[in-house]
Structure 1
Amino acid sequence: MTESLNASSIVPTWLTPNHLQGMLRGIERESLRMQSNGFLSQQPHPKTLGAALTHPFITTDYSEALMEFITPPQPDIAKALEFLENIHAYAAKHLPEGESLWPLSMPCMLDEQEENIPLAQYGHSNIGRFKTLYRRGLGVRYGRRMQTISGVHYNLSFPDQLFASLQQQEQNPLLKKLNLQDYRSHRYFGLIRNFLRLIPMVMYLLGASPTVCRCFVTGRKHQLQPLVGGTLYLPDATALRMGRLGYQNSAQRQLGIHYNHLPDYLTGMRKAIRTPYPAFQSLGLNDANGEPIQINDHVLQIENEYYSLIRPKQTPQGQETPSQALEARGVAYVELRAVDVNPFSPIGINTDSAAFLEILALYCLLDESPKITENEQDLLDKNQAITVTNGRDPQLELHTLSGTVKLQQWMRQHFAQMQGLAELLDQNEHDQIYQNAFRCMQQRCDDVSQTLSSQILDQTKASSGTWSFGANTAKQHQTHYQQYALSDQLEQYFNEVALQSITQQQHLESQPQPDFCDYIKPYRNLLEN
């Protein structure tokens, strides 16, 4: 991404709407189940929703009370959001009595005992027990409270005809000689690097976690200030979920995993799952009764533990790990993970956010993307940290390789370059959803009071605290789900999927199971060569 931005559009003259036909997107939205008293649910995952281990659309994440809603890839944004709304409405009808879905990224009320955050359970098969053990290990390493944070992951792929045309425009003969799979991975990694450079824009425009319940920081040092009703905040915060209070792993920072080249990325990931880490070694592998408490004592138990704002993805086949899938077939899509749950939407995300993420991703794909040096990575880390805590400060300055620049000015420069992409994307939709989204984000850039974080702060004050705001919003969403017209055909379809998932789990559990300690031995013997 070029350091010196001008006002010209990034849209190349050869790019047409036809190049973008075949884009696919899928959405994953997390949400805690909350009891009527405001505390985290202690009830198991509802049986009527099927088996969390094998259900393709409705599952659990870290906790038994942390639901995850997953859409399959969809040809347009409207279909993705509609599917997401359908599964929300279906799930809401099957929640235990008195429960609702917590609408914020930062969790609802948690009591003092972390053990009362129930780990997700996936049955008696070894693969199910393995998934629960992985979560137990996360809790041992980082604390269970951190794992109750919710987010939205936006998965996006571009069609091969776009990559083929991009390759034809290349001046570098080495890039022109790559096969399409390797060239596609090369361009996706360029997208990833540019997305990391633009994280302050994502935090400012889509950040929706400026406050937390006091219970979330029990036993932790912090610099938050009291607001109202047991709520802590920072006056200009945007996305505390993405800061020091959110997902952090100091061990991972020392690995130097980067996104300059797919083979180097894979090497870094493999090193992480093979390298013991003293702080995790000191925790032990098993408890006093000999029961495993973490898969291993390495920097990463498995690859999924690597926290990243964006991930290169390829669908694993059979028993493949994510890295093996990437090595075999290259990058198929990217997972944008830096998105807070939008509490003003019953499904955690709306059309404006989805469309803007797609404009941004296409911009990141098309623009120049030099390798990220150690010096630049330090600046990117610093920019993320200050935007999380002070992003709504109109005087905030970002750090670039060519000096400092005010956040608002920097965003406007990028807006000027990407505007043409919104117009181009709308030509495929025969609508103006991308241009409307673009204007919405421009308004947030120009008027800080229009940002989600500012509106949430206002609502929290008016409601006398985070819990009251969240509970009132959850009640509104519950009413929305109840009134949502889910067709009899869809109801029957989801009933059948739930039953099929239960049958699949029962089949897994009926297979001969080796001793679980033997099952996890290979994961404990992955020492670095």
Structure 2
Amino acid sequence: MINFSARLNLISRNLEVFTQYSRGVERETLRYKDGKLAVTPHPQGLGSAHSNEWITTDFSESLLEFITPVSNDISMLLSQLEDVHHFTQTKLGEEKLWPLSMPCDVNSEDDINLAQYGSSNAAKMKTLYRKGLKCRYGGFMQIISGVHFNFSFPESFWDVLFGEQDYKSRQDSKSQAYFSLIRNYYRFGWLIPYFFGASPALCSSFIQGRDTKFPFKNIGQSLYLPQATSLRLSDLGYINSVQSAFKIGFNSLEQYLDDLDKVIKTPSKDFAKIGVKIGNDYRQLNSNVLQIENELYAAIRPKCAPKNGEKPSEALRNNGVEYIEVRSLDVNPYSPIGITEEQILFLDLFLTWAILIHSAPMDDYDLKNWRNNWNKVVIEGRKVGLKLQIGCHHERLTLQEWAKYVFGGLLLIAEHMDDAYGGSKYRDVCGKLSTWIDEPELTISGQLLKLTKKYGGVGEVGCWLGDKYTAKYLAHEYKTYSEQQMESEVARSWYIQAKREQTDTQSFDEYLNSYFAYLVK
């Protein structure tokens, strides 16, 4: 078995490999006005939410999502996001973009409108899926914002690691390596909410009418946990307790897909009570444990771009893992675009480390263990001396001890990456974040909680930052795109939506029956 150092030295023989990483970002943000959730429809001037390549909506009509193309250049990636933010703000009138992961003030769940994508069958299915989520988990979960980071290693990386292979062997080798990364991500990825978690507090309207076990403290109309890092990743948010019992394995692509398939095909007694179609009113896509595979709220996902109408799992089974989607980043409130260059540099290092170090298979005990570790970090991660249990011997060390172990490897990678790029950016990031290990109040959650206390609540600090960033968006000048390109994409997206709506021949019932035919096989 080749160890970490040997693999790193192997890759480092061709430093150009480090400059060819592919990255993409999906940033979510709520539209708001005067500190309250916007209840207006998705602005026409932003194009079709179903077809615009750069600007869409996520679960609710007010939750915008900005998507960058795949890029090997971090500066270009960030400038693309800046351009999209600028264009969007010019179309919002008095509305602004909420700068935090946890939502602004919401009068009631009735104000959370389902995202609308048009009258085509595919569009109506997207809306119905979201209606099912609202019925299952409540509407408030549908307006939490996050940042998703898409990442892949170049073919030159695999060439060095695996040598010459035929197409199928290369597919299998890549998938196996990415699942090794995923297992290590679950073991050590709590470092991401530790450093970059940005939701230690929330507006009290978020939990209206719900019981919670958390011992919250008050700041005005806001609630917080003194040592929390990311309430977004707690049971209140996307890592929710309903799914905590799922046993999805990560030891191979086949195990992952087989386990996911079982969950998708398993009926749920609780969700059956909601009903699927009552009269002419659809309430959810089906009453299984998951309506579709996207309902699995994972901190990281293996991905493959679907072709010719494939479902995501079909694409993975047919073509293997092409890239991974990191889903545990909160919106960074200290960046107008929700993410910084420093964070991307850290992710480059961490994901490289996670794929190069040994990754033992995970049994049921390990699956339970990583969930416990992540729960501890998101709820009380800034507690110095917090114990985490990791590894085949289930060793218990403090968060600080585990973090320093990881950083030993990150620094070695940083030296090679700085050699590849010139300069010292990667080592600088290691140096800065290493000081946060023993001083948790330097983390983003620590800084943000301090600011929240200063301004008197989540709403107050969100509005202060929102005002500042709105001015910045409007003053921005295009760097990568142009206004003409943005407007052309708006026009193209409306054309594509209209074309889809005109070419549908099936009824919606027929469309759903065809889509879910695999459930009855």
Aligned mates of 1:242, 1:384 — CA distance in 2: 9
Aligned mates of 2:467, 2:516 — CA distance in 1: 45
Contact 1:211 1:466 in 2 (8 A): yes
Aligned-residue Cα RMSD (Å) equals: 2.2
SS in 1 for 2:27: strand
5 Å-filtered alignment, 1:323-402, equals 323-400=313-390, 401-402=393-394
- The one-character-per-residue Cα deviations of 1:424-471 (angstroms, maximum 9, x if unpaired) are 222332233222222221121132221000000010001011100000
Give, in angstroms, the shift of residue 507 of structure 1: 0.6
- The one-character-per-residue Cα deviations of 1:18-69 (angstroms, maximum 9, x if unpaired) are 3334211000000000112x11111111111110100111000001100000
TM-score, normalized by length of structure 2? Answer: 0.95
Query: Quick one: which of 75, 88, 93 aligns to 2:90?
Result: 93
1:494 equivalent in structure 2? 486
Aligned mates of 2:422, 2:283 — CA distance in 1: 54
2:142 equivalent in structure 1? 147
Q: Residues 443 and 528 (structure 1 numbering): CA distance in 2 closer, same or farther, change over 3 Å?
A: farther
Contact 2:451 2:461 in 1 (8 A): yes
Q: Residues 528 and 419 (structure 1 numbering): CA distance in 2 closer, same or farther, change over 3 Å?
A: farther
Aligned mates of 1:90, 1:381 — CA distance in 2: 39
1:426 equivalent in structure 2? 418
Corresponding position: 1:81 with 2:78 = yes
1:269 equivalent in structure 2? 260
SS in 1 for 2:237: coil
Corresponding position: 1:484 with 2:456 = no
- Is 270-279 or 52-61 further displaced after alignment? 270-279
Give, in angstroms, the shift of residue 14 of structure 1: 2.1
1:446 equivalent in structure 2? 438
5 Å-filtered alignment, 1:112-511, equals 112=108, 114-168=109-163, 179-222=169-212, 223-250=214-241, 252-287=243-278, 289-400=279-390, 401-486=393-478, 490-511=482-503
Give, in angstroms, the shift of residue 388 of structure 1: 0.9
Contact 2:410 2:430 in 1 (8 A): no
Aligned mates of 1:206, 1:303 — CA distance in 2: 27
Aligned mates of 1:136, 1:178 — CA distance in 2: 39
Aligned mates of 2:480, 2:420 — CA distance in 1: 32
SS in 1 for 2:488: helix
Contact 1:40 1:65 in 2 (8 A): yes
Structure 1: runs of 5 or more not aligned: 170-174
5 Å-filtered alignment, 1:25-40, equals 25-36=23-34, 38-40=35-37
Aligned mates of 1:290, 1:88 — CA distance in 2: 39
Q: Residues 21 and 180 (structure 1 numbering): CA distance in 2 closer, same or farther, change over 3 Å?
A: farther
Structure 2: runs of 5 or more not aligned: none
Q: Residues 525 and 325 (structure 1 numbering): CA distance in 2 closer, same or farther, change over 3 Å?
A: closer
Aligned length: 516
Moved over 3 A (4+): 8-11, 175-178, 248-255, 522-529
SS in 2 for 1:232: strand
SS in 2 for 1:12: helix
Aligned mates of 1:469, 1:10 — CA distance in 2: 48
Give, in angstroms, the shift of residue 10 of structure 1: 7.7
- The one-character-per-residue Cα deviations of 1:87-112 (angstroms, maximum 9, x if unpaired) are 111111111x2210000000111113
Letter in 1 for 2:251: N
Aligned mates of 2:9, 2:377 — CA distance in 1: 34
- The one-character-per-residue Cα deviations of 1:171-207 (angstroms, maximum 9, x if unpaired) are xxxx999711110111011011101111221121111
Give, in angstroms, the shift of residue 508 of structure 1: 0.8
- The one-character-per-residue Cα deviations of 1:122-178 (angstroms, maximum 9, x if unpaired) are 011111111000000000010010111110000111012212222259xxxxx9997
Corresponding position: 1:19 with 2:31 = no
1:43 equivalent in structure 2? 40
Aligned mates of 2:409, 2:503 — CA distance in 1: 57
Q: Residues 99 and 224 (structure 1 numbering): CA distance in 2 closer, same or farther, change over 3 Å?
A: farther
SS in 2 for 1:297: coil
SS in 1 for 2:10: coil
- Identity between Structure 1 and Structure 2 (%): 37
Contact 2:28 2:58 in 1 (8 A): yes
Give, in angstroms, the shift of residue 256 of structure 1: 1.6
Q: Residues 105 and 489 (structure 1 numbering): CA distance in 2 closer, same or farther, change over 3 Å?
A: closer
SS in 2 for 1:307: coil
SS in 1 for 2:223: strand
Aligned mates of 1:254, 1:446 — CA distance in 2: 33
Give, in angstroms, the shift of residue 488 of structure 1: 10
Contact 1:25 1:74 in 2 (8 A): yes
SS in 2 for 1:69: strand
Aligned mates of 2:40, 2:159 — CA distance in 1: 51
Q: Residues 116 and 367 (structure 1 numbering): CA distance in 2 closer, same or farther, change over 3 Å?
A: same
Q: Residues 302 and 488 (structure 1 numbering): CA distance in 2 closer, same or farther, change over 3 Å?
A: closer
Give, in angstroms, the shift of residue 524 of structure 1: 5.3
Contact 1:10 1:367 in 2 (8 A): no
Q: Residues 9 and 392 (structure 1 numbering): CA distance in 2 closer, same or farther, change over 3 Å?
A: farther
Aligned mates of 1:166, 1:213 — CA distance in 2: 48
Contact 1:295 1:523 in 2 (8 A): no
Give, in angstroms, the shift of residue 12 of structure 1: 2.8
Contact 2:10 2:161 in 1 (8 A): no
Q: Residues 44 and 350 (structure 1 numbering): CA distance in 2 closer, same or farther, change over 3 Å?
A: same
1:172 equivalent in structure 2? none
- The one-character-per-residue Cα deviations of 1:273-307 (angstroms, maximum 9, x if unpaired) are 222111111110124x4211100011111111111
- The one-character-per-residue Cα deviations of 1:308-354 (angstroms, maximum 9, x if unpaired) are 00000111112101111111111111100011110010000001111
Aligned mates of 1:224, 1:509 — CA distance in 2: 50
- Is 509-518 or 237-246 further displaced after alignment? 509-518
Give, in angstroms, the shift of residue 376 of structure 1: 1.4
